């Protein structure tokens, strides 16, 4: 009977219309990829969350990080310096930490606000700086695209969808599973693929060889035999990543060509090789 009540109908129409207008007015394109997405958080909120997580990680890893003058830290800073130069995020207070923890598998992250963490085990899997740039361009791309903010913005809709599904099924567990596999995991995989795409273009513009992304992910595939099937994961499979990167490779190589990397790569190599250990420390201190 309520559906025939004009007041209820008017209220539903007004609320629904307001939600629709709110949703449409907060859709914006992601950088580089141009994908349209809903986002309502601000960069300041995301940076505040990143700073909170940064402080927590510093406490957790106290005594288990390399000193700033360690060769691995200098290597990461060297790669990040070139990626930052093409990211549009040069004004952020960047920090780099290399964590030594044999109990944790290879991983890396860039928090909102430019705080970089990488496990030493990840560095051992990268055969050269081009492969290391594959890792950090991907992680930096997450921050450039503000994927943290996008995930936070989706949470109210996920909560509403869980409630609606629970009302229909009467099962909270089933409702959570439906939303996870129908909405949350696919959205996460989409953002991971987007970070792969943006990162590939970014490393190409920074004059790293994008073709090295393929052998890196092949190495990662050999290291991840126990991962769940793709539809159960918040990341695409390494095989999917390799296939996608292969499709994007012509554009990445075109960007690298347009960046005049043939003339600048020799300069970068000669500059790197001419630095002594202590000169490398001095150079990294001016950037971070």
Tell me the catalytic residues.
Answer: 139
Q: How far is CA 176 from the centre of its chain?
A: 25
Phi, psi (rounded to 5 degrees) for 115: -100, 120
Distances (CA, A) of 143 to 9, 103, 199, 264: 42, 27, 11, 27
Q: Are 185 and 232 in contact (CB under 8 A)?
A: yes
What is the distance between the alpha carbons of residues 72 and 123, in angstroms, rounded to a whole number?
8
CA angle at 28 for the pair 23 and 33, rounded to the nearest 5°: 135
CB-CB contact of 218 with 242 (8 Å):
yes
């Amino acid at each position: 009977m309520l559906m025939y009540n004009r007041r209820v109908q008017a209220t539903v129409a007004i609320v629904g219309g307001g939600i629709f207008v709110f949703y449409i007015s907060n859709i914006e394109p992601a950088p580089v990829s141009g994908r349209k997405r809903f986002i309502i958080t601000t960069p300041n909120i995301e940076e505040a969350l990143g700073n909170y997580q940064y402080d927590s990680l510093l406490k957790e890893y106290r005594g288990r990080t390399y000193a700033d003058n360690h060769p691995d830290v200098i290597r990461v800073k060297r790669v990040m310096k070139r990626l930052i130069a093409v990211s549009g995020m040069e004004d952020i207070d960047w920090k780099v930490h290399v964590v030594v923890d044999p109990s944790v598998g290879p991983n890396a992250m860039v928090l909102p606000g430019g705080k970089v963490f990488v496990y030493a085990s990840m560095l051992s899997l990268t055969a050269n700086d081009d492969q290391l740039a594959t890792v950090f361009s991907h992680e930096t791309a997450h921050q450039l695209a503000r994927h943290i903010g996008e995930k936070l913005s989706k949470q109210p809709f996920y909560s509403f969808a869980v409630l609606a599904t629970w009302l229909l099924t009467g099962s909270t567990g089933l409702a959570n599973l439906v939303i996870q596999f129908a909405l949350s995991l696919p959205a996460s995989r989409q953002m991971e693929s987007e970070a792969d795409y943006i990162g590939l273009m970014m490393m190409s513009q920074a004059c790293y060889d994008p073709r090295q992304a393929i052998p890196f992910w092949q190495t990662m595939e050999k290291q991840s035999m126990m991962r769940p099937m793709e539809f159960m994961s918040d990341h695409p499979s390494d095989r999917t990543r390799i296939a996608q990167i292969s499709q994007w490779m012509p554009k990445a190589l075109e960007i690298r060509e347009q960046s005049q990397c043939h003339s600048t790569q020799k300069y970068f190599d000669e500059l790197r090789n001419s630095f002594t250990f202590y000169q490398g420390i001095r150079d990294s201190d001016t950037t971070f």
